[in-house]
Structures are given as structure tokens and as C-alpha cells.
Structure 1
Amino acid sequence: MPTPVKYPFLPSVGRGLILLTTTLLPLTASAGIVLQVKGLPDDLQQAVISASGLSAYATRSVSEAQVRRLFKQVQTQVDGILRPYGYYHSTVHGELDPKGQDWALSLQIEAGPPVLIEQVQATLPASAREVPAVRSSLRALRALQGKQLDDGNYESARDTVTSALTANGWLDAKLDTHRVEVDTRRNQARVELAWNIGPRYRFGPVDFSGSQFRPGVLDRYVPFPAGTAYTQDQLLQLQQSLTNTDYFSMVDVRPDMSHRQGQIVPVLVNLHPAKQTIYTGGPFYGTDTGPGIRAGLSKRWINRRGHKWSNELILAQRLKSLSTLYTIPMPGPNQRSFNFGANFLDANTVTSVAHTFEVVANETRLWHGWTRTLGVHALTGTFTVGKRGTESDRIAGLEHGSSTLVYAEGSLARKRMDNSTFVRRGWSLNFTARTTAGSALSSARFSQLMADAKWIRAFAGRNRLILRGSAALTDTNDFDALPPQLRFFAGGDRSVRGYAYQAIGPLNKSKRVIGGRNLLIGSAEMEHYFTPHWGMAGFVDAGNAFNGMDYRPQLGTGLGLRWLSPVGMIRIDVGMPVHSIYGHGVQLHVNIGPDL
């Protein structure tokens, strides 16, 4: 029987240095050395070159005696360089020739058969194997069986198990047995590992330091009760939850190991309050609103209970709005909050004018992976529909109305994406339902269902396909009492491009657009990026608002420019209607914001 030998792990010969050189290494000092390695895969050639040590002679001349000594030295190093990669039977044939003032050093290397891992024996108590993260890391370690012995891969898999133990409460875990035996005659290796994990630690009390809130307010953000098994994921979740509140400029969460009692570890949270009041403002331009200015004032908290308050004023060519929102956070696993808002709106589109005041109260929370909002709206005001551009409100054929509507609204929203800045794979879904409680508190009875979907998929490197769709249905006993924001129109940046905002919809007897009960829109867009930040798009949009079954989709098509700017994606589209009574010529659309 061959005698097994212990695996001679080299101290770090610089796996991190391997990729810093090329297969051919010229050293450009006078009487320098040119080293060439043949017969190995590229990564192993680079390993030999990096570990040879010849780069130390790059800026100084060497004598012939030094060159010959280095030549012999590098040949003897090859075996030790290749062993961490699983090659124990390498052979080297070298040639040394003068080449002008330099020396050409050539190594022809045969790595020989690799050593394969015959068996991986890893011993852990059952209590640790039941934890998913530990079980997964142990499975990855055992998956090395049958594969080529590789120092880096083995150590990474081994250390991942130890890290998983530490991250899940076994803070004293250590390797008791760590043995790798290599049978060089059979080219097989056996791995034997055993951990002494010690007791599993548990969370103690959480102490908040530096908070501006009264005691107990931040306890609702703690995702674990005292006595729960310690995990680093829970600490990260606590830190993320506190960071997302926007209350603090600094959040530092750490286990207080110096005050642990037995296996109970208290948690220390150091906080620094953020600036309480935020002012925002500046000019903007939107193809739906025209040029304007926006100003905002937000209070990150207004009392020691953590309530929030935000306000926004918009003064634009075709939109004037003043809104306020008061939020009461209710922290917990479902991220619940109560919201109370009011909004004054003076909107002037190419087809309508609305002067309305709205009060809203709702509750928002996470619900089975969705963001769910349930609330009540009270909307009152006057409006005019059927306009054409900037013409007077007194033109014949316009329809005027005023109404008060109290209705319930519920919505579900969900999105998934690989990157919020530039989505390569992602989608979003939004569903909304509205209904009045009869006509007791409202000028009319109505119910609505709405759905929006968007899907993004990158392909062939720098291309993206974007599909988008919207649908809506309305049932009402008095359509004329619905203001423009409760009617459906098509046209605009997020609808059918090639047409002005809300320019498409059913016509009244005077052939003027007054909006419809229902909506159906679809869009297909192809983007190609010439650089990581600049690209172009081609699109086809189709759809319309309609009543009953009288659906007559309008088509718009065009090209666009895309710029992934520091403030987000900027989209500039030029669209044209196709054989439509609702528009002609070129329509410019500018849109700034996230993909989903």
C-alpha cells in the first residue's frame, strides 16, 4: 500500500497575484530576462510566471551567473507552484538562450494527471445541520468529492461552513479536525473535517443610543424578540429597517460581546439623527405639464413618536397642485403605515380642465409579497371636458360639470428587478379597484377596475425589449358626473406616444374628446445601447379609451434617445400618429425616472 502523505499547503503563493501578469513576461532592464511558459492552460502559465520571482529583476541588469542561477531556481519551483492546483507529477524541460542583450528563458511543462478528491468527510452536530445556511454550505463542501483538488476551492468551501456557523449563532465554532491526505500513487485525496461548534448564542435586549424618540418607539423595528437564536441576517435586517426610516444619518448595529451573559448577547444600536427638515425645489419640464417649478418641504419626524409630514407645491404651465401628507409609521414585518393627505389640483390638458380638492385616508402594508393600500377618497370640484388645446372654456360643444364623490379604493402593487438603476430582467404589476357606497354621499355611483403591467428583458448584450399594457373598466349610473381624473383617456408619455397627453378618447356629439369608461393600451419597445450610458429606441404604441364594445385602437410609432444619467434614466421620444383623427405631425415626449 502506498503511504499517504499530508497535503503540503503552500503559504499564499499569491493566487491574488496570478492574474497580474501575462503569459509572456518581458523584463525590460538592460540584460533582462524574457520568460516563456508552454504546455499549460493560461491560468497555470500565469501562476508559474507570477510565482517565479523574476519580476524583481525588471529594473536592474543581471549577470550571466545570476541568470543561470535563476533558471535552475524557477525549474525547481514549478512542482511546488502546481501542487495547490492538484498536480503532483509535473515535469519541466527548460532552455536558456542569449537573445541580444537579453536572455530568453523557455519552460516546457507537463502538468501530469491531476489529483481527484476521493472522499469528503465533514462532521457537524445535527443541531447545526438543521439550519438552512449551514446545510447549504455543507452541501457545497461535499460537492467537491470527485472533483480535482484545488487549494483555493477547497479552502473557500471549508471557510464558508465556518462562516455559516458563526453567522447563525455558534460564535465559538472552530475546526477540531482538519486533514487533507494525498495518495500520490493513486492520484486521490481524502478530506476529513470536524467542527467543535460550542453552544448557540441567543439575542438579549436591544439598547438604542442617540435616538431622538421616546423609549419604546424604535423597539417596533426590531425583527427578533429577546431569546431568539442569534443570526447576522437579523442584525442586518434591523440595520436596514432603521436606515430606511430616513430618521438617521448614521446607524450602527453590533453585538455587544463585552456584556454577554452566558449565551445571551445584547445588541447595541448607535444612532445619529438626520436633518429633521428637508427643503427641495427647482425648475422642471414635462411634455404633459409644460415648464414649471416644484418646491417641497418635508419633516422626517414631527414628534417623538416618529410621525412624518411632507408638502409639495407645483406651478407649471398646465398643472398647479398643492398637496400635503401626514404619515404614521407602524413598524413591523408588514411595514404598515397610516396616511392622511389633501390635494388641491388645477389641471389643464389639451382636452380638459379640472379644479378639484381631494382628501385621502389610507393604510399601506406589505401583504403576501405585494404592497397593499386600502383607503377612502373624498373628491369635489368643477371641470370642463372636450377642449381643443388652449381654446376658451366658453366654446360651444364643451361639457361642464361639478360633482362630489366619496369612494373606497384598494390597490395591489408588486415589482421584481435585478437592478433598480438599469433593469435587465424585471417586471411590475399594479391592480386598483374603486367603488362608491351607493349614491348617498356622492353625486353618482361608480365602480372601476384597473390593471397595469410592464416587462423588461435584456438580450444579445446591449439590447432590451420592453412590453407594457394597461386596461380599465368602469360601471356608473352617471358618467357625466365623473371628473377627468376618474375618466379614461389615451395619449402621452406613458400611454400612446405620438399623441398629446389625454388627447385620445370617445367623442361627444360635437366631435370633441370627453374621455371614456374603459381603456385598453399596449406598447412594444426595443432599445439598443451604443455605450453603457447612451442608446436609442424604437417603439410602437396602440390603444384607446372607449365606451361599451366600441374599441378603435389608435397607433403611434417613433424613435427615441436614451441616457442613463446620474439622476436616472432620461428618455426623449419623437412619436407620430398613424392615420388618426386625433393627431398629426410630430409629438415630443420627455420622461425621467426609473424603468419600473
Structure 2
Amino acid sequence: MSRSAPPAAARARGVALAVLVALLTVAAPGVLRAAGTQPYTVRIDAPDDLATLLTNYLDITRFRESAVEQAGGGELARLVAATPEQARALLRTEGYFDARVDVQTEPGDAAPRIVVTVQPGPRVVVRSVELQVTDAPDDAALKARLLSAWRMPVGTPFRQAAWDDAKNQLLVTLQEDRYAAARWVSTHADIDPTHLTADLRVQVQRGPAYTFGSLRIEGAARYPQDVAQTLWRRGVGDPYSLKDLLDYQEQLLRTTLYDAAVVEAQPLAPAPGEATSTVVPIVVKLRERPKQSIVLGVGYSADNGPRMDVEHTTRAPFGLHWIARQKIEVARSRQAASTDWTSYPLDNRYRNLVSAGVERLTSAGAPVRTETARLGRTQDTERIERLYYAEVVRSVIEASGGNVTASALSGNYQWTLRDVDNLRFPTRGLTLQAQAGAGVRYGGANDKRPFSRVYGRLTLYQPFGTLWFGQARVEGGYVAANNADGIPDALLFRAGGDDSVRGYAYRSLGVNQFGTIVGGRVLLTGSVELARSVSPGWLAAAFIDAGNASDSPADWRAVVGYGIGARWRSPVGPLKLDLAYAHQLRRLRLQLSVGVVF
């Protein structure tokens, strides 16, 4: 027996069918376009950088889908006709004022092909630069400083983006140093299309010279205001500088006492009938971190394998103006425990430090247990970090024939320079670390015998255009002593692994002593890497590393590793995945790491 559907169900099915038909009607053109061929193709014959510009901004490439639906109404013909003038306008922004653009429509197998041929011709160059400070025409020193900061000197190609950048940077140069109210009076670029030159004229009003006023700190509850006051190195009446404010804000965050620090210059409102004040009080708004925190971490590296760690931080232990960190780390080849105490910032940004730790490292060769205790002082500025410390080190090599113990007391100095465009993802600049120390061994055959130690590491970063990035590194160290006996393994050198000689296991390059790899008194390694951006955040790289560690310069023999890799600019730093070939071992090794080593 048949049954008819209830009226409500029938209506529901009818509504659903109508909705489905409507969706198909709307989606069908897109589906057909995806399944079919393009309505037309575009080929742009021009130098690579100009071809990219035209591809991104010409209507004929940007509005291709719109042209499909309206092609029957002449939309394609309109786009073709408009292309030459659009292209010439875009080329003028790059300094090509005499470009020739030809557009042809060619028949294709499935769709017409639009060919845009560009002959850019010579580029406009800057012929003259005229700079005037309208309210200080006789200030020769200021004018010279502005001209030295000008980014489009005579002879440089004229580009609209570069012209805008040069103007903005000149104004910033004034506003960052004393003249916070500086403004443009006029800017003009006269283009001579006959001689293909540009005459630049800029007029700027510097305004009054500002000075720093009083310092007011808000939000200091858990930790004393003295911390923030000590880090402020300027006084009332000192010249205003935006760089000083930004540096101060960075130093506040580096204390690790604050989650956030906002430093604001707040000009005083003038009283009725008075001129605007040039004294700028400074207001600091702080959001403090809790006095105690625990951080759990997991990770992985090719050198040490999977890793778990826990770190406990106390920011006022026993009511003292110190920060204490206790950390335990467990990895496949490394286990470590440490305690580090650093004082709140003192005058001139110094901090006192006390630390102790124990580490057991199982890499190539026998396991090594190292115990350290350190007492010193550190100074951290915008680009330079200094560290002075006395250290006691005891290393135990757990060799199959019995433990080998070495102990030493030394005094050391470490200097680190970070002059890069970005600390997390450096692409331009350099980093340099230099260490020097001297000490004595105690216990064993070389008891009370002196030694000295030097170490250096230089890394250069250089971009090539906008897509290519180069990196070069050289690293060297030397321990001066009658021999290595009695010197702790932690003060000697090994090579191999990521950020050393890739393709060889972590710390596997050193001195072979009775079948066990131990540290040597000589280290020299180098690396060259070239990377290319392949998509936002991702780069492909090729590299070659070379170097070794040995007991003496005469014994040093370089080994080589080379390969390819991928780089990802992750939120926690650059992630590096390398496939490296150890030339001497004739073996491939996959290496993974996160972060930048300074």
C-alpha cells in the first residue's frame, strides 16, 4: 500500500530542492570555469622585476575572472585597450618614463593569448637634491646631518617607493632626535623626460628642540620602582631622543620582571596664553610578572634527540632583589640540572650572577659528566653583552678503562656583539662572540699548572636582492698549555653537529684517545650557506661546512660536510631541517634544529 508524504514533509523537500537548485545556479559558473580552460592567457615579456610588478597590478591579469562573464560584452577588448597606459603608469613608478609597451592578441588552441611586450628603456636618475630647513636655514650642522641621512643621493635611480621612503626617513631622523614636532613644508620631484633626470626639492620645518622631563612610573607593586629608575639613563633637560625611549623599554623587558612595559613621552599642555612646552615628561606603565612561575618544555634536536625540561623561576627569593632560576633538562644524550641567580639591574646596567650546575653528556665517545660553579658580573646593552666571571670546572670522562677526572679554576671575560636587523630572523649584519680566560689545573699530574684559553665565533648575514640570503661563519679556539692533561673536557673543543660541521654527529670530531673521542686544544670550523625564499616563511638552502678539532695545530685536518635544507620562520625562531653528506664518512645525516646561535 502506498503512502503519500505529509504536507509539511513535502514542503520541506520542496524548499530543500529549491535551495539546492539556487546553489547549483550560483556555483555552476565557477565549477565550469575550474573544470574548463582559462578564457584567455597573458604573457608578459619584460625583465623579471618589472614582469612581477605588471602581473600583480595590471587589470588584464587581476580581473581575469570578471572578464570571463563579461567577455561577450566587450570587456576583454576594453582591458586590452587599457593595458598600455596602465603598464606605462606602473613603469613610471619604477623610474622608466620612456618605456614602450606593445599589446597583441594571438589566437590559441582553446583561448586567445594576450602578449604584453615591454621595452623599459633607460631609467630616470637623480640629478640634484635641494634640502631646506625653513626655520633654521643657517644651521649647517643640522643640514649636513640630514643630507648624510638622505636615501636618494645624486646618481641613484628614481623610484616612487624609494622617493616616499627617503622623505619619510628624513622626517623620522628629525623626529627621533630632539625635533619631535618636525613636519614637511613641501616636497617636489621635477622629472625631465627628455634627459631622464630628476631634480628633488624638499623643505622641512624642524620645530622646537624638545628635552626630557621628569620620570613617572606606574604599576610597580611587587618589585621596587628603583629597578625602572636605575635603567633610565637620562635626566631632566637632556635632549629628547626616541631611540633612548625604545632602548629603555627594551631594557625593562630584559629584566624578566615585567610582562609588558610601555614608555610614553607626554608633552605638557600649555597654560592659556603660553607657548607649547618643550619639556617632555616620561611615563612608564608596567605590568609585572608573578613572583614565581614554572615552565614545562618539550623539544627535539638531531644533536640531543627528544627533550623535556622544567624551569622554576623566583623573582624575589627570600625577599632579595635577585632572580633565581632552577632548571632540569632530560634528553636522549644530555641530562642537566642548574641553578642561576642574577641580581636586579645595577648602575650602568650591570648585574651580579651566581650559578652552579651539573651535566652528563653522551655523544660520540665516552659519557662526560661536568660540574661547574660560577661567580661573576654581566652587562647587557642594546647590541653588546659583557660577562666577567670566575669559574670552577670539574669534568669526569667515564671511559671503559676507568674514569678520567680533570679540574680547573679560571678567570674569564666574554664579549658578544649582535649587530643584525632582526635577532630572531637575522638577514643582514653580523654577530661576534669572543672569549678569553686563564687559570690553573688542580689535582693529577699537572697540579697547579697554568693554562689559557681563547675562543671566537663570527657570523655574517647578507641579503642578495629580495629573495636570496647568504650566511657565512668562522669559529676558532685555542687552549695554550703544556698538554691537555688535567684540563676539563668542558674547556677543550670538539666539532660536529648543527651549527658546526653538519653531516657529522654532535661532538664527534675531536682527539681520538685510546679509542675514545675527547676534546682537543685546537678548534677551527667554517661554513657558507645560501638560501632562497620559496614561499612566505619558507626558504630552501644549500651549504658547505668544514673544520675539525685537534690536540695541536700540526694535527689539525679539515673534514667537509655539505648538503641542502629547508628553513621555516616559525613563531619560536628559525626551524632548520638539513640533509647533510659527510664527505670523509660517505654518509648522509638528517639534522633538525630551532633557533639562532650567537
Give the TM bin, normalised by the shorter chain: 0.5 to 0.7
Give per-residue Cα distances to partners, 1:128-171, cap 9 Å, x unaligned: 66447984499789x89xx99x9x99999888877766655456
* Whole-Å separation in 2 of the counterparts to 1:563 and 1:487: 31
One-letter amino acid matched to 1:250: A
CA deviation after TM superposition for structure 1 residue 432, in Å: 1.5
Q: Quote the residue 2:548 is aligned against.
A: 544
Q: Quote the residue 2:574 is aligned against.
A: 569
Q: Quote the residue 1:578 is aligned against.
A: 583
2:438 maps to 1:435: yes
Give the root-mean-square deviation of aligned CA atoms: 4.9
* Whole-Å separation in 1 of the counterparts to 2:583 and 2:203: 73
Q: Quote the residue 1:123 is aligned against.
A: 134
User: Contact 1:354/1:384 (CA < 8 Å) preserved in 2?
Assistant: yes
The structure richer in helix per residue is: 2
CA deviation after TM superposition for structure 1 residue 314, in Å: 0.8
Q: Quote the residue 1:290 is aligned against.
A: 305
**Which runs of 5 or more structure 2 residues have no equivalent in the other structure?**
1-55, 98-123, 191-198, 272-276
Give per-residue Cα distances to partners, 1:88-139, cap 9 Å, x unaligned: xxxxxxxxxxxxxxxxxxxxxxxxxx9x999876532368664479844997
TM-score by length of 2: 0.66
Alignment of 1:184-583 (within 5 A): 200-212=209-221, 213-258=223-268, 263-300=278-315, 302=317, 307-330=322-345, 335-365=349-379, 370-385=384-399, 393=400, 398=401, 400-437=403-440, 444-459=449-464, 462-477=467-482, 479-508=484-513, 510-566=514-570, 567-579=572-584
CA deviation after TM superposition for structure 1 residue 436, in Å: 0.7
* Whole-Å separation in 2 of the counterparts to 1:42 and 1:555: 54
User: Contact 1:217/1:305 (CA < 8 Å) preserved in 2?
Assistant: no
Q: Secondary structure at the match of 2:511?
A: coil
**Alpha carbons of 1:556 and 1:270: their partners in 2 closer, same or farther (altered >3 Å)?**
same
User: Contact 1:554/1:578 (CA < 8 Å) preserved in 2?
Assistant: no
Give the aligned length.
Answer: 493
User: Contact 1:372/1:413 (CA < 8 Å) preserved in 2?
Assistant: yes
* Whole-Å separation in 1 of the counterparts to 2:284 and 2:466: 44
TM-score by length of 1: 0.67
Give per-residue Cα distances to partners, 1:357-410, cap 9 Å, x unaligned: 21112222258964222111012353235xxxxxxx3xxxx4632233111111
CA deviation after TM superposition for structure 1 residue 21, in Å: 7.7
CA deviation after TM superposition for structure 1 residue 578, in Å: 3.4
Q: Quote the residue 1:68 is aligned against.
A: none
CA deviation after TM superposition for structure 1 residue 323, in Å: 0.8
Please, which moves more after superposition, 218-227 or 286-295? 286-295
* Whole-Å separation in 2 of the counterparts to 1:543 and 1:166: 49
Larger radius of gyration: 1
Identical columns (%): 19
* Whole-Å separation in 1 of the counterparts to 2:149 and 2:575: 46
Give per-residue Cα distances to partners, 1:57-107, cap 9 Å, x unaligned: xxxxxxxxxxxxxxxxxxxxxxxxxxxx9x9xxxxxxxxxxxxxxxxxxxx
* Whole-Å separation in 2 of the counterparts to 1:565 and 1:159: 29
User: Contact 2:407/2:488 (CA < 8 Å) preserved in 1?
Assistant: no
CA deviation after TM superposition for structure 1 residue 589, in Å: 2.6
Q: Secondary structure at the match of 1:507?
A: strand
User: Contact 1:423/1:595 (CA < 8 Å) preserved in 2?
Assistant: no
Q: Secondary structure at the match of 2:358?
A: strand
CA deviation after TM superposition for structure 1 residue 351, in Å: 0.9
**Which runs of 5 or more structure 1 residues have no equivalent in the other structure?**
1-18, 48-84, 88-113, 183-189, 386-392
**Alpha carbons of 1:461 and 1:450: their partners in 2 closer, same or farther (altered >3 Å)?**
same
One-letter amino acid matched to 2:557: P
Q: Quote the residue 2:18 is aligned against.
A: none
* Whole-Å separation in 1 of the counterparts to 2:499 and 2:187: 63
User: Contact 1:259/1:266 (CA < 8 Å) preserved in 2?
Assistant: no
CA deviation after TM superposition for structure 1 residue 435, in Å: 1.2
* Whole-Å separation in 2 of the counterparts to 1:344 and 1:163: 50
